[in-house]
Amino acid sequence: MGFELLTKTFNKCGSYLCVGLDIERSLLRGGSKDDIKEFCFEVIDFCNDNRFCYTFKFNYAFFAALGMEGLIALKEIITEKKKDNLMILDCKRADIPNTMTKYVKEAFEVFNADAATFLPFFGKEALLEVESYCSANKLKYYYVVVKPTNPGVKELMETNCNGKELWEVVLEQTTRGLKHCGFVVPPTFESVNKYSELPLLLPGVGKQQYDPTQIIDILSPYHRINVSRGILFPTETTWQKKVEHYYNLLKKA
């Protein structure tokens, strides 16, 4: 099962850190495929060489915004660096089942990701296409985005549904019968403690200012705390120093 990659990469460094590569042109020497790869390789190699991190999340939109050079670079970065790392493609796809099969192949075969993010709002029948693929390909798994961390999420996902918030209903209904999925939820004690037995991807630390120290004691190797802009766009220091800072902050207690 793909969850083994979570344990394997965690054991290499002992930290719950996932470095998010949200690449902006301002970070690069130029806009070519090689420029994109050069920067991403520099980050990945620095993390690996210092045993800070072996899990990376690639936000599809940022690479797509760089044009075809960005998408080709994304494929090559994941493929060339995945041997020692867990590579998550943050693509947030959703559609009817027939179309979902194409999104699944895009994530896992075109871009060669180990894991990918999907949205739940086409129902369980759509997610079953992802589940079926991951069941047949034992080293693949996926995350269902049930509660993002932006303030606007309250308008929908915190809607009361018979005493539960909508995101909890979505998570619990999605969980039934699915064995290869984890979930994207905020890094709060309430959400992590309630679903601590599940693989969780926890964004929002860094620029969105969630405090991860309240959950460190209840995390497991199946959990990752993603930091993207908080590392890549630091103030008054370097991204290398930020990687080291978050590695130490997010080490196993």
| Domains, the chain | 3-249 (3.20.20.70)
pTM of the prediction? 0.96
Please state, in angstroms and rounded to a whole number, the distance separating the CA atoms of residues 163 and 142: 28
Alpha carbon distances (Å) from 25 to 33, 67, 77: 12, 11, 17
pLDDT digits (tens, 9 = 90+) for 10-27: 999 999 999 999 999 989
Band of residue 46 on the pLDDT scale cut at 50, 70, 90: very high
* Residue 155 pLDDT exceeds 90: no
| pLDDT tens digits for range 84-130 | 999 999 999 999 999 999 999 999 999 999 999 999 999 999 999 99
**CB contact set of 181 (below 8 Å; sequence gap of 6+):** 127, 130, 131, 134, 141, 142, 143, 144, 174, 175, 199
- The one-letter code for the residue type at 121 is F
The distance of Cα 116 from the centroid of its chain, to the nearest Å, equals 7
Residue percentage of the chain with pLDDT more than 70:
99
Q: Is residue 147 within 8 Å of 185, Cβ to Cβ?
A: yes
